Structure 1
Amino acid sequence: MAKPIITLNGLKIVIMLGMLVIILTGVRFAADIIVPFILALFIAVILNPLVQRMTRLRIPRVLAITLLISIIIVAMVLLVAYLGTSLNELARTLPKYRSSLAIPLLQLEPWLQRAGIEVSVEELLKYIDPNAAMTIVTSLLAQLSNAMTSIFLLFLTVVFMLLEVPQLPAKLQQIMVRPVEGMGAIQRALDSVSRYLVLKTAISLVTGVVVWVMLLALDVRFAFVWGLLAFALNYIPNIGSVLAAIPPILQVLVFSGLYDALILLAGYLVINLVFGNILEPRMMGRGLGLSTLVVFLSLIFWGWLLGPVGMLLSVPLTIIVKIGLEQTAGGQSIAVLLSDMSHH
């Protein structure tokens, strides 16, 4: 193990723990400001290798950044417009849900009763209010329109971050006491996070496309929306793919019946088995260096601290924390606890 950059004694550890509690409390209260900055930082980490490749092709850095950001913003605008149309269509079909839902619930009632679960279909239907659901959809449409302003500001921040990248190493070296070790740690963190985000994005994209094609083959409405949901939630470790499967399965249960819903459930299980348990571990390899328990606990912690974005970025944030702990004498033991020792 590398020689610690920072040496800590017991008193310093106590003081730092107290400071950590204060910092975490402040971060949680200021999450609305901090989260967009963190999200912009990780987007910049993903895009910077692409910018560097474009500059090697003798494309000016400013032009490369402008082209990339412009393409992404146009894609986001088209995506938001499509989602708005889909949500409008969903709002128009919601009143039919209540009557359609009675049939699969009646099919499920005997199964639940045999399992010892007493359920009354009539009582359940009383809680299904199409008007309330339409109110939620209308609210989502309003939030989508407001999100465009936030998206513009987010990518404006990404632009400035990418423009600043060439100057960062020199600035960081000037403020570090031991620049060689410090820059080495920063480079390891950047390499690990960049590798994870690129691979995770590729796997999530393929997962979303496969889900979309499967839903099209099964003639499920809003297939693109559910494929997009599978892509986005696949960033959330352990539970993301499960959450993405719930809405389309419920939709098929309501409109097509229990048999079709079970077929779709089987399809999702196969996709999650192939991508989550076979493909992703092989592609990621030993690069994460985090135990399975730590990945799950980090999901809970970062979700509590930063909300949904914290859940999406829980793994790369924990990787950064682990590499930071490895650079302190008091933190090296904690870093070992976070590590995956199954390959040793």
Structure 2
Amino acid sequence: MASADSEKLRSIGISIIAVGVVIAGLVLGRSFLIPLAIAVLLWNLLEALIDGFRRVGIGRVRLPRSIAALLAIAAVSFFVYLIVNILLAQGGAVAEAWPHYGERLKSIAADLALWLGPDYSAKVREVIGRVDLTRHAAGLFVTAQSLLLNAILIVLYVGFLMGERRYVSQKIAALFPDAGQARDTDKMLSAISGGIRRYIWIKTLISLLTALLSYAVLRGLGVDFAETWALLIFFLNYIPNIGSVIGVIFPTVLALVQFDTLVPFFTIGIGLTAIQLIIGNVVDPMLTGRSLNMSSFAIVLLLAFWGTIWGVVGMFLCVPIMMLMMIVCANVPSWRWVAVLLSKDGRIDVQPPGPIPNSQR
């Protein structure tokens, strides 16, 4: 009995140490792991697009994978081109509009003085006086260099992943001589890949719809930099729960300093909030159904965890990583309880979304 208890305590101690080592590795190796994680996500996005293009055809005739891959790469490249164009085109406009925003902030501070008194007003003026975009120019330049280097690294990773994909089945067969074990491992990897692709596809469609509707509201009300805000809303929508809140706050606050009245401020806030609520509570559940059977509380916890160790990028990757954890834990009997806790209703479905032919692996 004592021996069994000692063995159990030893097992728990080893598990705690292993978890600590993994967390330390995630923190210390973030500069290497983050580009790799983004590359895997983009690779799955390309594979989802390739699968989508391959389904397009006449009768039983389907596009060859090579042509579908070229179309997917062209679509992603065009989207990146649009993003860069929007950011470069509106970068100068921000500098030109900043003096007007500064004057408007001073006017708001003066109005607050009537409500808060001179002491609080002086503090508000001091805070506003510290807001200066030019002081952060050097830091932004260094950040841009780092982003460029990481972008090149990510592109290389994606290229090699696409080149290696055809050998996955052969490697699994070599790693696991037992045919049943190799089949189970291949099935688990297919479920992980299929789940991530499905999530990316659905989330991209929802984010695009949210961004387009938000752009229509912002453009219709004459908000400055509507394209940039729509782009920001598109990306923030990938962050569960808090992304939509931030996407509403930023353009609403801009309306406060851009316009001389509070009507646009309230109109934009109500309009963007309505879009987020309708899409989040009606459209999103209709598209996802039970395909993303995840606990909302677990998502919030993991969002805080990955945001702490990997920053904003960790928040973007939170759901795909959680999906990977659920599928892996569901296939390991001793860790199945983790998958149950991460799920929404306790039901675990580890089946892949559909058969993936060997030629597509």
TM-score exceeds 0.5: yes
Which one is further off, 332-341 or 96-105? 96-105
CA RMSD of aligned residues (A): 2.7
Query: 2:352 is matched with which residue?
Result: none
Query: 1:156 is matched with which residue?
Result: 156
Aligned to 1:219, what secondary structure does the other structure show? coil
Query: 2:48 is matched with which residue?
Result: 49
For residue 15 of structure 1, what is the amino acid of its counterpart? I
Aligned to 1:205, what secondary structure does the other structure show? helix
Aligned to 1:307, what secondary structure does the other structure show? helix
The CA distance in 2 between the partners of 1:135 and 1:202, in whole Å, is: 38
Over 3 Å counting, the alpha-carbon distance change for 1:237 and 1:108 in structure 2 is: farther
Query: 2:59 is matched with which residue?
Result: none
Q: With CA pairs under 8 Å and 6+ residues apart, which has the higher RCO, 1 or 2?
A: 1
Over 3 Å counting, the alpha-carbon distance change for 1:287 and 1:342 in structure 2 is: same
For residue 128 of structure 2, what is the amino acid of its counterpart? I
Q: Following superposition of structure 1 onto structure 2, how do residues 142-291 of structure 1 map, counting pairs within 5 Å?
A: 143-144=143-144, 147-176=147-176, 178-256=181-259, 257-291=261-295
> How high is the TM-score relative to the length of structure 2?
0.82
- Work out whether residues 302 and 311 of structure 1, in 8 Å CA contact, stay in contact via their aligned partners in 2: yes
Shift of 1:142: 5.9
Which one is further off, 269-278 or 321-330? 321-330
Shift of 1:26: 1.2
Q: 5+ residue gaps in structure 2? A: 1-6, 56-61, 349-361
1:332 equivalent in alignment to 2:340: no
Q: Following superposition of structure 1 onto structure 2, how do residues 3-18 of structure 1 map, counting pairs within 5 Å?
A: 10=8, 11-18=10-17
Q: Following superposition of structure 1 onto structure 2, how do residues 80-159 of structure 1 map, counting pairs within 5 Å?
A: 80-105=84-109, 120-129=120-129, 132-136=132-136, 139-140=139-140, 143-144=143-144, 147-159=147-159
Q: Deviations over 1:278-330 (max 9, x none)?
A: 11122111122211100111111111222211101111111111111112232
The CA distance in 2 between the partners of 1:17 and 1:108, in whole Å, is: 53
Q: Deviations over 1:253-296 (max 9, x none)?
A: 01213221011110011011111111112211112221110011
Which one is further off, 119-128 or 49-58? 49-58
The CA distance in 1 between the partners of 2:186 and 2:65, in whole Å, is: 26
For residue 33 of structure 1, what is the amino acid of its counterpart? F
Q: Deviations over 1:96-122 (max 9, x none)?
A: 222212344555667x76xxx998334
Which one is further off, 46-55 or 117-126? 117-126
Shift of 1:251: 1.1
Over 3 Å counting, the alpha-carbon distance change for 1:21 and 1:71 in structure 2 is: same
1:34 equivalent in alignment to 2:38: no
The CA distance in 2 between the partners of 1:130 and 1:97, in whole Å, is: 14
Which one is further off, 333-342 or 194-203? 333-342
- Work out whether residues 50 and 69 of structure 2, in 8 Å CA contact, stay in contact via their aligned partners in 1: yes
- Work out whether residues 202 and 287 of structure 2, in 8 Å CA contact, stay in contact via their aligned partners in 1: yes
